[in-house]
């Protein structure tokens, strides 16, 4: 339940801006396509082996895929838009997961329910202040992608999160609201099927290759 509250607040901020974004989907937006969302990391260290110091280097994963070919300019533009959108919302989805872990671990150190509730109120206030303006800047396509990537990072659908926090009736209301705009809070993430291309882009963005 505590985990669900944090994600729900982020999703609520996005849903508040959802209707605004539908008119500005950013189809022609080109800025940021070459800006890395994640920078490749290289770690250099050493270990002792029978008294000898041996250096080693750890690098980010490198993914090799067949080159993508497009039979139309429209499909190429769709792919470039996907890359741009992943770079925009993947960091947010990862931040959601980080907030969940950090908040949950800290709550476990608090002595009682009153202290936990007070801390959650501070977390909620901070999240709304920081993330609501960012949610409003998302386009319609980016909002739909965020739903999927939150599932990827947190292993739970937005609908299940809302249901856990507000119950099935309110969850049904939010699902109906999203459905009116062509979205669904029940969307999962299928990296081996319908989201195969998205997963490829995500992995390469994470590795700093895109």
Query: Is it the case that residue 22 has pLDDT exceeding 60?
Result: no
Q: Is the pLDDT of residue 75 over 70?
A: yes
State phi, psi for 64 to the nearest 5 degrees.
-120, 120
Asked if residue 61 has pLDDT above 50, the reply is yes
Contact predicate 79/68, CB 8 Å: yes
Per-residue confidence (pLDDT) for residue 167, from 0 to 100:
66
60, exposed or middle or buried, with CB in 10 Å at 0-12, 13-18, 19+? middle
pTM of the entire structure? 0.74
Distance from C-alpha of 13 to C-alpha of 30, rounded to nearest angstrom: 25
Coil, helix or strand at residue 99: helix
Angle subtended at Cα 183 by Cα 162 and Cα 15, rounded to the nearest 5 degrees: 50
| Residues 92, 202: Cα–Cα separation, whole Å | 13
User: What pLDDT is attached to residue 84?
Assistant: 93
Question: Buried b vs exposed e over 137-160: b needs ≥16 C-beta within 10 Å?
Answer: ebbbbbbbbbbbbbbbbbebbbbb
Using the predicted structure, report yes or no on whether residue 79 has a pLDDT greater than 90.
yes
Looking at beta carbons, which pairs linking 193-198 to residues 24 or more positions away fall under 8 Å?
A: 195/148, 197/79, 197/82, 198/82, 198/86, 198/145, 198/148
Identify the pLDDT of residue 82.
95
pLDDT digits (tens, 9 = 90+) for 96-148: 778 777 877 888 898 998 888 888 778 777 877 787 777 778 887 888 888 88
46, 54 in Cβ contact below 8 A?
A: yes
Contact, 208 vs 36, CB < 8 A? yes
């Amino acid at each position: 339940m505590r985990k669900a509250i944090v994600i729900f607040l982020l999703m609520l901020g996005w849903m508040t801006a959802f209707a605004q974004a539908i008119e500005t989907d950013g189809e022609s937006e080109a800025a940021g396509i070459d800006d890395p969302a994640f920078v490749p990391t290289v770690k250099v260290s050493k270990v002792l082996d029978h008294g000898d110091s041996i250096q080693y280097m750890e690098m980010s994963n490198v993914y090799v895929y067949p080159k993508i070919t497009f039979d139309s300019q429209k499909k190429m533009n769709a792919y470039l838009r996907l890359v741009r959108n992943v770079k925009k919302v993947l960091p947010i989805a990862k931040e959601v997961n980080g907030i969940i872990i950090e908040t949950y671990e800290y709550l476990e150190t608090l002595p009682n329910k009153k202290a936990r509730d007070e801390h959650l109120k501070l977390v909620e206030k901070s999240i709304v202040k920081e993330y609501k303006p960012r949610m409003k800047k998302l386009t319609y396509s980016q909002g739909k992608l965020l739903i999927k990537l939150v599932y990827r990072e947190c292993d739970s659908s937005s609908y299940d999160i809302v249901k856990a926090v507000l119950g099935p009736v309110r969850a049904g209301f939010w699902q109906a609201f999203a459905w009116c705009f062509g979205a669904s809070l029940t969307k999962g993430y299928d990296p081996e099927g319908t989201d195969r291309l998205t997963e490829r882009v995500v992995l390469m963005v994470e590795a700093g290759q895109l």
